[in-house]
Structure 1
Amino acid sequence: MLALRLARGTHPLVLLRRFMVAMASAGVGFLLLCTLGHALGHPEQASGSAARLLWCVVPLTAAVQLAVAVARTDPAARPQAGLSSVGLGPVGLALLAAVSTAVSCTLGSVFALFAFLCLRGDLVGVPYSAGVADTLGAGQPLPYAGVPTLLFVVPVLAGAASAIALRPRKQRPGAAPEPQQPAAAAGEPDSARTTVSTGMPWGVALTAAGIALGSYAGRATPSSADGLLPLPGRLDTIPPGVVGGWMLIGIGLVLASPGLTHLCGRLLASGRPGALRLLSGRVLQEEATRLGRPLGVLCAVASGALAATQLYGTALDSTGDRPFGPLTGVGAALVMACATATVLTVALETKGARSNTTAALLRIGASPALLRRAAALRGAVMVAVLAPISWAVAELAALPLSH
């Protein structure tokens, strides 16, 4: 009830972020229900239904990551004197943010169920189309226990992940938290330096290992359309080695991105920098861990999308038929939207964490135009560095499978 009362007086931008979480939960819930409908309508294709369920892990992970990022920027999760006086300390605020996240995800799951039932024809009497009826298993009774179980996966995981991310962390003896950091980020400087110094070599090694594994597994892949990494609709011929290689590539990009972000900041601030380059470089170095990880996820998603587009373009040119089902576009768009929204949300979080520093710069005479140019320079540098890397990784990952 307290979470609902706080939601009534929140800023429209906060409500927009919660709405994004609800829509992401609705998309994942709809994909899970479609998997259930396919399993009910095609009991002879048990392996295909299981593979569809495994593919749902990708949008599920993206939605949970977005929910955690939004929970970290939620004003209700920050320490406030009024809430502390009634006993809502750091632990209570973390639980409150987790409950708010779970409520938003639950609303999205309810919307997903409504859309699923309408398309099946359970509410309107007639399925949307014959193809949709076959995909969603129209006419088959839904299990009473299976539907709530699938719909509560996203709220439970998102709420638990938000509570873990916002839990109060113990400070080392003698180490004081930085005043400009929010409570959820206290205690991060040591781990940030460790991640930046050790993450980049491990990320490069894992990316190279993933490309090598995908190349080795792709040698035994048939050249027909059925063997070109089929997504929902034709999943029974996917090479497990290719999936493992792409997973290693994604993990490697996530681990290497904080180091790349920190390196970009050092390059900007090197030599004899002016105020613009110095400010941009220092901010990138300070926010390398917090901003680098979501950027790594976005690079991994973009690389996978580019590689899949190249592979499916080859299959389309050779056969004239697309080797994936109708829900693949929904899942891919959902993952890309969640990854992009997470990066934007984390960027807003870092801006809020630097509010004291920004106010100090304005007091000593820095113009708002200078701060805007510094933000634009940071964005341009990161795009100029990460976009070619994502394209190169996608080309190397798709090269063995495109022949």
Structure 2
Amino acid sequence: MSVITGLGVVAPNGFGVKEFWAATLAGRSGIDVLDRFDTSGYPARLAGLVDLEAERLLPSRLLTQTDRSTRLALIAGEAALADASVDPAEFTDYDMGVVTANASGGFDFTHREFKKLWSQGPEHVSVYESFAWFYAVNTGQLSIRHGMRGPSVALVAEQAGGLDALGQARRTVRAGVPLVVCGGVDSALDPWGWASHLSGGRVSVDPDPATAYRPFDARARGYLPGEGGAILVLEDAAAGAARGARVYGEIAGYASGFDPAPGSDRPPALRRTVELALADAGVDPGQVDVVFADALGLPAADRAEAAVLREVFGERGVPVTAPKTLTGRLLSGGGPLDTVAALMSIQEGIVPPVFGTSQVPEEYGLDLVLGEPRQTRVDTALLLARGRWGFNSALVVRAAQNGS
């Protein structure tokens, strides 16, 4: 059994689990006008921004070689280990692994170095450009910083990648590695990154932070990007118990799927992915207490996700939420951050609402939690994430079973 013993959060609406969770229940948003460069000429200007000075929390030697996304990952990783009461020096180095997802790499760092290359010449480019841009850099830097030499992986699957990282970490623990640091963090909010976000035509151009991102709403017209995410500590249940670890919950099931090519007569993969994750967990649909939806915020995508939830759980058969309206979609950081929220729902018996959404079409048939948190027993939560180009992932987390 794989249990979660540590949580580290760097989110637009809170640094640390306590601050993030309080903001999630109260509706405090981290959405603001992107002000790191002049965005006045862009059609969309809102994003989920992490208000955190990494320079005060990391050694100067790391600052020269890391992108913002890696700095946030290192800070979240440090917080997760502290939360789990884990001192890596007390563990055997090959008994600790790292699995992270990343969707954009070191965007800000590499574009800054490219500008030097074009304007000043190659001799002015940082030697750290050789790895600071790379998708695997967060896994590598966490591994180096904490002396973790066990099996380690980096995954790339856009928004779905964060749940994939947790699923892969579970496989790693099952293979015999006692402890795995896992999750996802992304940041791509420099000028080139912002242009990349907008190029897909899915970002909301509504200038009001309160209504710009409202998934499953009749007026939904897109999503808002954000930065940040979460890093978790996953342990073998017996190993965690032996050291007296506190347990937030367990990863009970996981599955991933890939949509067929456009024009195919095969169905999209989301329903099959959900069913496989539930089967992996040994959980019937009626045992799921809440679904943390992907909630893209585009009518066609919302309609398709709602249809899958109706087919699997029945009409209004399960409470559905999407706290990401307060943070924006965080690419690889979205799934792990939703997992933190799900674990806190399990701990406290409360489901956070979807803020911003109010007019849910009847045809969706969803029991969407709106307006205020819902007090209810939560033992099992299903988390969904869909990435561009066909990625689908589903994760089941539940309260730790007796003896874990």
TM-score for the superposition, normalised by structure 2: 0.29
Which structure's residues are more often strand, by fraction? 2
TM-score for the superposition, normalised by structure 1: 0.29
